[in-house]
Structure 1
Amino acid sequence: MNPIAANKAELIAIADAVAREKSIDRMIVIEAMEEAIQRAARARYGAENDIRAKIDPRGGDLRLWRVLEVVEEPEDYFKQISLVDAKERESDVKLGDFIVDPLPPIEFGRIAAQAAKQVIVTKVRDAERERQYDEYKDRQGEIITGLVKRVEFGHIVVDLGRAEGVIRRDQQIPREVLRVGDRVRSLITLVRRENRGPQIFCSRAHPDFMKKLFAQEVPEIYDGVIEIKACARDPGSRAKIGVLSHDSSIDPVGACVGMRGSRVQAVVQELAGEKIDIIPWSPETATFVVNALQPAQVSKVVIDEEDTRIEVVVPDDQLSLAIGRRGQNVRLAGQLTGHQIDIMTEAAESEKRQKEFVERSELFEKELELDETLAQLLVAEGFTSLEEVAYVEADELASIEGLDEDVAAELQSRAVEALERRESGYRDARRALGVEDALSEIPGLTEEMLVRLGSKGIKTLDDLADLSTDELIGKGDKRREIPAGLLASFGISQDDGNAIIMAARQHWFADEVTDEATEA
């Protein structure tokens, strides 16, 4: 029905029907009608006029009027009136007031009616989009159920009832086939406002989707008695979750599995047969890593806290089980624990330790001029470098069986001399490369680091200052694996890297101050 040609009762009926259908406030529909009627009236009487329309939200009565502003000398005779002429209409009028000219109801033509209809449609659509955004913007992280509406380029459009959601191809479970009309559950991951309407992105591959499913199936998780501390998924294939019970009388793994596996099977069916390993979470990193690698048995765990790497030693017959098919088991365990896990057999670990023992023993024999027995004794006591020997507490060195204070002092003296010789050698190499001395004055840079920089063409303060921190030390926790980091192998922290770059740039700021002083 055309709202412009409708009578007053029909106007209210149309507004109520549209408001119910689109789930928006009826006043928004009435305001859209008023604006549509105003536009149509301006097209009838002239767009230059300031014409207003008002619909009574109760009775539906329509009023039209033209507004004229009272001024001293009109510049726009369509919207303004002089004070003299205004006083002929209303004697008590004054400057700045508005004169209202009522207009009679008019019949609108087909073109005007179509234009008015377009205005109403646009206004109602904008209000509907805003309502959808307001309804879903605070529901990120919730599980929602909808019907598959259509599939576009591999992306699934889901009818959520009062809006549409999208499950992108990379957020679907691989090899899962969903057809139009299928009922599907997914996790709302992002609600974004856009010109074409709110975009609601959903996921079935996100780890939080599995967490929410367990919260629905396991009352103890919903109540907070059991907490899912970590989760890692290979969607459609396998997953691992680490659970912790805040009540010592409740077994977290058993509660999640349920009677005869009923609870976990409900989640598995929703995830298209994805196998789920439920693992007891532990604050002890080594214990949690051992649990995460189940069902493989672990012999030993070696943790490198600074590099977030963990070496795990397993029996020879457990290697393939620990790694898993295509590395799946160790990859999921690494995601679950937040560490990079290196798997090796007992034989490989023994060979590696023996090789390290020989290399360190030969280092001490050569640099400290020791016999083989004493060098091996130092390595056996845990010393791995000349720096440790040189700067360890003398009492700790003297407490080693077979050593006294005099021998300990001599060892430290030789270690300091060896370090000085090494530093001197690096200094000569640095100067031979043409690296200027100003770089050696920057805190945090050793002569060995400067040799590395010089070999890569970084020889002046400006060369170093032009680098970013990522280019200097690499990026993130795994910076040692990034070849772009010139000093990646030295294990420099992000803060120390920033400090080195800023120290190299200090002369830029000093030059700017000097230039400003000269100009002044």
Structure 2
Amino acid sequence: MDTREIIDAMKEIGAVKNIDKARVKTIIEDAIKKAAAKHFGEGAEYRVDVNEATGVIDIKRVLIVVEEVEEPDFEISLTEAHEFDESVELGDDFIEELNINNFGRKAITTMKQYITSNVLKEERISLFNDFSTKIDNLVNGNIKKIDKKYVYVNLHRIEARMPLDEGIPGERYRLGGLIKAVVLEVRETKSDPEIVLSRKSDKFLQKLLEFEVPEIEEGTVIIKGIARISGKKSKIAVMSVDDKIDPVGACVGVKGSRIHTIIRELNNEHIDIIQWSNDPIIYTQRVISPGVVIRAFKNEDTKVMKLIVKDDTLPKAVGKDGVNVDLASKLTGWKIQVIGENEFRESSKESEKINVIYRLEGLTENQKEKLIEAGFKTAEEIIAKGEDELVKLEGIGKKVAKKVVEAAEEFLKPTEKNENE
């Protein structure tokens, strides 16, 4: 094994195995030291320097100059040392130049074994460190094998596996086919690291969005939340930091081009894109779509949101097997209860069970919530307090206070039916 062969091997190892060049150099130098010790003796100190640029491998053995040699592995007599350098004295280090071509077969075998085992070790470390930084990120590979538990994916440098329950329900896999997934977990083992993939996780959907929507990658559009039941439906809340950019439109793309690409990747999973709001009632009304909300009741203490929806939209608001309302609850962080308008009216016939504030016309849901939070339960209470007291409430100005009193007065007016009676 000549020096040029060693230099070429060192370059190839660094390139193919993706191991740091300095670390490869150290492995080669240590291997040569091992080989030298195997051939010339274990006791001496060996110094090795591999110069990749010049192709020179400098190998030295350090011997101690003594009067009479007792340990030939690491000693040299003064008489013999003077044959090379008359200036050396007893106790000095004598540097002997070695040539790798003089190493025996066993020494070369020792060197090759050391290089192989340490390169494998470094490659495993490199793979583990590399894929540890890719957790929750997209990877592409070809399907190599499928069994009852896993889909095995060739990621070029290593084989990963995806548990079947981390796949999208209902999708089929083809040997040799290209597959996208996120790295779910990287486990260190005695051999190659174990790379676990997922297509079911919310992160997979998030990374697909980041890939397909430039505004998300640039940070102009922000994903505020994802709720997903893999293979069935997903809801994604987005917002824009630029008023000129519609976050929902950016995600959908021209004629749905962006979102349809993602839907196809998810095996035709239904996706709702919702504009996020920091107002829980407005946000919940958007998230429960396609249900149409006509009233909302929230309990901050229990984090329960009761939504009254139009009867013809009730089935869609709940969704098949409750999927829509479950996803809405997960996305908003509120426990959402959905009931139809007629059911609500039937259950609210007894006046003591109804807060009439919700029945005041001309007021927004937010304005009604402000009044209820302030403790108002009847129109009479509003009129008794008057505009001067109402303006003291946060978010209620003079104009709104006047509108509230007028709405209360209008509510208390006798109906035409009552007048006739």
Common fold, TM-score beyond 0.5?
yes
Q: Provide the aligned length of Structure 1 versus Structure 2.
A: 357
Is residue 2:274 matched to residue 1:279? yes
Contact 1:289 1:337 survives alignment (8 Å): yes
**1:245 corresponds to 2:221:** no
Return the offset for 1:289: 1.1
Q: 1:106 aligns with which of 102, 108, 125?
A: 102
Higher relative contact order, structure no. (Cα contacts within 8 Å, ≥ 6 residues apart): 2
- Between the aligned partners of 1:8 and 1:254, the Cα distance in structure 2 is 63
Q: Does 1:206 align with 2:201?
A: yes
Unaligned runs of 5+ residues in structure 1 are: 1-5, 359-379, 384-395, 401-520
Please say which of residues 190-199 and 224-233 is displaced more in the overlay.
Answer: 190-199
User: What is the aligned partner in structure 1 of residue 389 from structure 2?
Assistant: none
- Change in Cα spacing, 1:312 to 1:147, as seen in structure 2 (3 Å) is same
Aligned pairs (5 A) from 1:112-123: 112-123=107-118
TM normalised by structure 1 equals: 0.58
Letter in 2 for 1:230: G
Structure 2 counterpart of 1:341: 336
Name whichever of 79-88 and 320-329 sits farther off: 79-88
* Paired position in structure 2 for 1:157: 152
Distance (whole Å) between structure 2 residues aligned to residue 78 and residue 307 of structure 1: 85
Which residue of 1 is the match for residue 361 of structure 2?
none
Q: 1:20 to 1:318 in 2, by over 3 A?
A: closer
Give the Å deviation of 1:271. Answer: 1.1
Hey, which of these two has a bigger chunk of helix by percent?
Answer: 1
Residue 52 of structure 1: how far off its partner (Å): 4.4
> How far apart are the structure 2 equivalents of 1:25 and 1:216?
30
Cα shift at 1:334: 1.0
Pick the aligned partner of 2:255 from 253, 257, 260.
260
- Counterparts in 2 of 1:323 and 1:135: CA distance versus 1, 3 Å: same
What is the Cα deviation at residue 37 of structure 1?
Answer: 3.1
Q: Deviations over 1:308-335 (max 9, x none)?
A: 2222233555443322212211111111
Q: Distance in 2 between matches of 1:112 and 1:31?
A: 18
Q: Which moved more, 1:54-63 or 1:258-267?
A: 54-63
Structure 2 contact 142–179 (Cα < 8 Å) conserved: yes
Shift of the 120–152 alpha-carbon distance from structure 1 to 2, 3 Å rule, reads: farther
**Structure 1 residues 404-456: Cα deviation after superposition (integer angstroms, max 9, x where no partner):** xxxxxxxxxxxxxxxxxxxxxxxxxxxxxxxxxxxxxxxxxxxxxxxxxxxxx
Match of 1:434 in 2: none
Correspondence for 2:6 among 6, 11, 19: 11
The residue aligned with 1:302 is: 297
Q: Give the CA deviation at 1:36.
A: 2.7
Shift in alpha-carbon separation, 1:247–1:57, aligned structure 2, 3 A? closer
Shift in CA distance, 152/58, structure 1 to aligned 2, threshold 3 Å: farther
Tell me how far apart the structure 2 counterparts of residues 35 and 222 of structure 1 sit (CA, whole Å). 46
Q: Partner amino acid for 2:144?
A: K
Deviation of 1:60 (Å): 4.0
1:201-221 C-alpha deviation (Å, 9 max, x unpaired): 433222232233233333333
Q: Give 3-state SS (helix, strand or coil) of 1:272's partner.
A: coil
Secondary structure, counterpart of 1:307 in structure 2: coil
The answer on 1:236 being equivalent to 2:234 is no
Q: Root-mean-square deviation (CA), in Å? A: 4.1
Matched, 1:224 2:219: yes
Larger mean CA deviation between 97-106 and 174-183 belongs to: 97-106
Sort the Cα spacing of 1:188 and 1:78 in 2 relative to 1 into closer, same or farther, 3 A: farther
Q: Is there any run of 5+ residues in structure 2 with no aligned partner, and where?
A: 354-374, 386-421
Structure-2-length-normalised TM-score: 0.69
Alpha-carbon distance between aligned partners in 1 of 2:347 and 2:93, rounded to the nearest angstrom = 93
1:277-305 deviation per Cα after TM superposition (whole angstroms, max 9, x unaligned) = 12222211111111111112223222221
Q: Percent identity?
A: 31
**1:320–1:43 distance in 2 versus 1, CA, 3 Å:** same
Residues 48 and 94 of structure 1: CA distance in aligned 2, closer, same or farther (over 3 Å): closer
Q: What are the residue-to-residue correspondences of 1:36-75 with 2, within 5 Å?
A: 36-68=31-63
Tell me which moved more, 147-156 or 302-311.
Answer: 147-156
Distance 1:11 1:381 in 2: 87
Q: Is the 8 A contact 1:49 1:78 kept in 2?
A: no
Q: How far did residue 34 of structure 1 move?
A: 3.1
State how far apart, in whole Å, the 1-side matches of 2:194 and 2:120 are.
15
Cα distance per residue 1:472-501 (max 9 Å; x no partner): xxxxxxxxxxxxxxxxxxxxxxxxxxxxxx
- Cα distance in 1 for residues equivalent to 2:257 and 2:53: 57
Q: 2:121 aligns with which of 126, 132, 139?
A: 126
**Pair 1:15–1:216, CA change in 2 (3 A):** closer
Distance 1:324 1:262 in 2: 26
Q: Deviations over 1:34-71 (max 9, x none)?
A: 33333233333444444444444345444544334689
For residues 280 and 103 of structure 1, the distance between their equivalents in structure 2, rounded to whole angstroms, comes to 74
Compute the displacement of 1:162 (Å). 3.7
Hey, what's the Cα distance between the residues in 1 that align with 2:77 and 2:120?
A: 43
How far apart, in 2, do the equivalents of 1:60 and 1:225 lie? 52
